[in-house]
């Protein structure tokens, strides 16, 4: 076999291996996560010397083992009444059940955790 043909076959094999995909793999789409947390009043927290200064969002797909799709913490400005976050998670099917947790933080201390099961 001549040198040129050998190089072409090797390159073709490498290209085939690089582009092959499992045709049965699930198609992944991304979905936005919308939440509307309600936090305790500042007065209720101040009586304990606490303030919410951060919010952690955790989105988990219940599988074995659980698959964490998002885990992000955002600073909460003083006197903020709401917080906007653009959080998108990958979905394997068009209808999935995910667990969404919102954790109110005071520094590194978890003050409140609100988990909820959500269908996407």
Position 27 scores a pLDDT of: 65
Q: What is the structure's pLDDT at 26?
A: 58
Choosing among 2.40.50, 3.30.420, 1.10.12, 2.60.40, the CATH entry for 25-119 is 2.60.40
Q: Which residues, including other chains, have CB under 8 Å from residue 94's CB and lie 6 or more apart?
A: 29
pLDDT at 60: 92
Q: Compute the mean pLDDT over every residue in the chain, rounded to the nearest whole number.
A: 74
Domain range annotation of the chain: 25-119
Nearest residue to 85 (alpha-carbon basis) of 72, 96, 97 = 72
User: How do residues 10-54 score in pLDDT, each as one tens digit?
Assistant: 444 344 344 444 455 556 787 777 777 777 777 777 788 888 888
Identify the weakest region by mean pLDDT among 6-10, 62-66, 116-120.
6-10
Q: Answer with the residue of higher pLDDT: 19 or 118.
A: 118
């Amino acid at each position: 076999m001549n040198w040129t043909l050998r190089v072409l076959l090797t390159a073709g094999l490498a290209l085939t291996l690089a582009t092959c995909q499992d045709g049965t793999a699930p198609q992944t789409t991304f979905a936005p996560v919308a939440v509307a947390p309600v936090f305790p009043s500042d007065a209720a927290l101040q009586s304990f010397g606490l303030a919410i200064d951060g919010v952690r969002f955790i989105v988990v797909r219940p599988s074995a083992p659980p698959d964490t799709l998002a885990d992000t913490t955002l600073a909460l400005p003083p006197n903020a009444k709401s917080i906007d976050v653009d959080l998108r998670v990958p979905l394997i099917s068009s209808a999935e059940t995910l667990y969404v947790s919102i954790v109110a933080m005071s520094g590194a201390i978890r003050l409140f955790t609100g988990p909820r099961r959500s269908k996407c």
